[in-house]
Chain A
């Protein structure tokens, strides 16, 4: 159980910096996800923490101790790679034993700890197999076991589920989360899949372009994103350009087209341009002429337990998700009901 702090981490490969001042604090036993699009610097951050990259500037602390200059083998980390990186010439049991041998653990104890970990990752029957004779999911669990058997201070995972098919990915997601809770190890998890990040993490860190855009619990990130980009990255979002009055007094008043007005909390940071975010499932459909906005259904997609509507309004096409029993035909005029408690002001992107 270790606390990890990143203090203004900068990493540059010569050209534009890959990391532009990452500051982050991860508490004891927390599960933190680094979430962001390809090339935003997630892996680089992880590699800096692991010691595979030398940081250009900034510091990395484990339990308050600066380890930024330590060699990877001295950092006491367990790492799971996207490619698993199992040792192909060693059996599953030998793969797990490797880290213990490096730590000069006595032979008898190695056997016992390997057996215990094999049990933990449910691979006991496969102990004597070579990695290439295992399925993707099994290889994945070997990689996890190999990282955990050394009981490292922290566990780092770089897109560990990216190579698995959808069903197995869902299973492994639950498996990793349960395992992490059971072991109680501080974990940093890299993914570009917002679903993975949301469902597994205590803390989600959204990164764009080498910097942290927002860090918060999954609920915070989803319901109260700080910018339009974050809002759109972690889910489907409608951003409405509503005229806002009285900014800065803790709340803002919005005036709706029909003349009705809504009061919602003001954003923490003043923004050049404000947009109002409403998630698709936070908008309800009602009869034409009712609700806050009027519109016309342009598309209806049946999703099983829910229906996705696209509705043309004065604010452009809005996405609305309703329970499957709320029916409207394509072409039909409808009213849209907003939930003032769920509306959230976000800073609009400069380019938007």
Chain B
């Protein structure tokens, strides 16, 4: 028994190493004092962070990605919640169809969704103007995560709570705000965090639909790494990891583990 427990503990450690080592390597590499992206780092220094902070291209890209992710998440939260409510409460016979259609962006290869959107937006004459295609792509990619999480938090609850609120004098909107919303808050938080991270991270959609001008962070990094191999890329990655972690922590503090 002792042996089995020890082996299990070892296995757990190995899994964590496997998952976290690449991240640790990138973070450590960003403190490199040398001129090249190497591991282990050649001396410790913050010089590449300074370089990065003085590099408008990356700062722009991070801000761009963060704003894009925030907006896409906001829109996904609204549409995804409405879709989840419809799916759980009203869809009836069409429920399965509704679910599959909403999850398609998750099931299909990202590149397929991207190409389909590219065709579509050129077909209707919009093309890649005004970042509409890019934004639509990001909403599509993030929607399934909101939908799935809100659906899960709705399915445990029966409609009676909302009906009870109605019978007590609450209008539909008030019942939603005072009863439904608090009940699905954990689902919204998880879905929102997922959506934000997916959008912040996604490559295929952004690569195909970004158009001209500034680009989201993953594209900018990719462009950079094609011609340069300095630890600045690692510094950028470290900052974006911090961004993602911050999103998780904030959401967890605000909504997590209550309901």
- What residues of chain A have their CB less than 8 Å away from a CB belonging to chain B? 50-52, 71-73, 75, 77-79, 81, 83-89, 98-99, 102-103, 146-147, 150, 156
A99 touches B183 (CB 8 A): no
Given contacts A88-B183, A103-B169, 9 further A-B contacts (CB under 8 A): A77-B167, A79-B167, A85-B163, A86-B161, A86-B164, A99-B169, A102-B169, A147-B167, A156-B167
- With A and B bound together, what is the CA distance between A102 and B170 in angstroms? 6
Report B128-164 CB contacts with A as 1/0, cut-off 8 Å: 0000000000000000000000000000001011011
- With A and B bound together, what is the CA distance between A50 and B165 in angstroms? 12
B174 contacts chain A at the CB level, 8 A cutoff: yes
* Complex contacts, A71 vs chain B, CB 8 Å: 166, 171
B259 contacts chain A at the CB level, 8 A cutoff: yes
Q: List B166-221 residues whose CB lies under 8 Å from chain A.
A: 166-171, 174, 178-179, 182-183
- With A and B bound together, what is the CA distance between A99 and B166 in angstroms? 9
* Complex contacts, B178 vs chain A, CB 8 Å: 98
Q: Which 10 A-B pairs have the closest CB atoms?
A: A102-B169, A85-B160, A99-B168, A85-B164, A79-B167, A72-B166, A89-B182, A81-B160, A85-B161, A73-B169
* Complex contacts, B165 vs chain A, CB 8 Å: 87, 98
Could you show 12 A-B contacts with beta carbons less than 8 Å apart?
A50-B167, A52-B166, A72-B166, A86-B164, A88-B161, A88-B259, A89-B259, A98-B178, A102-B169, A102-B170, A150-B168, A156-B167
- Distance between B257 CB and nearest chain A CB, rounded to angstroms: 13
A89 touches B160 (CB 8 A): no
- With A and B bound together, what is the CA distance between A88 and B184 in angstroms? 12
* Complex contacts, B164 vs chain A, CB 8 Å: 79, 81, 85-87, 146
* Complex contacts, B160 vs chain A, CB 8 Å: 81, 83-85
A98 touches B182 (CB 8 A): no
* Complex contacts, A51 vs chain B, CB 8 Å: 166
- Distance between A162 CB and nearest chain B CB, rounded to angstroms: 13
- B-side interface mostly: helix
- With A and B bound together, what is the CA distance between A78 and B182 in angstroms? 23
A87 touches B179 (CB 8 A): yes
A79 touches B163 (CB 8 A): yes
Q: Which of B166, B168, B258 contacts A146 (CB 8 A)?
A: B168
- Distance between A113 CB and nearest chain B CB, rounded to angstroms: 13
A71, A84, A102 — most chain B CB neighbours (10 Å): A102
Closest to A96 in B: B168
Q: Which of A73, A78, A146 contacts B171 (CB 8 A)?
A: A73
- With A and B bound together, what is the CA distance between A112 and B81 in angstroms? 38
B168 touches A102 (CB 8 A): yes
- With A and B bound together, what is the CA distance between A241 and B168 in angstroms? 52
Closest to B170 in A: A102
* Complex contacts, A50 vs chain B, CB 8 Å: 163, 167
- Distance between A62 CB and nearest chain B CB, rounded to angstroms: 14
B161 touches A87 (CB 8 A): yes
- Distance between B68 CB and nearest chain A CB, rounded to angstroms: 33
- Distance between A46 CB and nearest chain B CB, rounded to angstroms: 11
* Complex contacts, B174 vs chain A, CB 8 Å: 102
A72 touches B167 (CB 8 A): yes
A98 touches B163 (CB 8 A): no
- With A and B bound together, what is the CA distance between A102 and B174 in angstroms? 9
Q: Which of B158, B169, B170, B171 contacts A83 (CB 8 A)?
A: B158
* Complex contacts, B161 vs chain A, CB 8 Å: 85-88
- Distance between A76 CB and nearest chain B CB, rounded to angstroms: 8
* Complex contacts, A79 vs chain B, CB 8 Å: 163-164, 167
* Complex contacts, A147 vs chain B, CB 8 Å: 167
Closest to A103 in B: B169
A75, A85, A147 — most chain B CB neighbours (10 Å): A85
Closest to A74 in B: B169
Closest to B185 in A: A89
- Distance between A153 CB and nearest chain B CB, rounded to angstroms: 12
Closest to B168 in A: A99
A73 touches B259 (CB 8 A): no
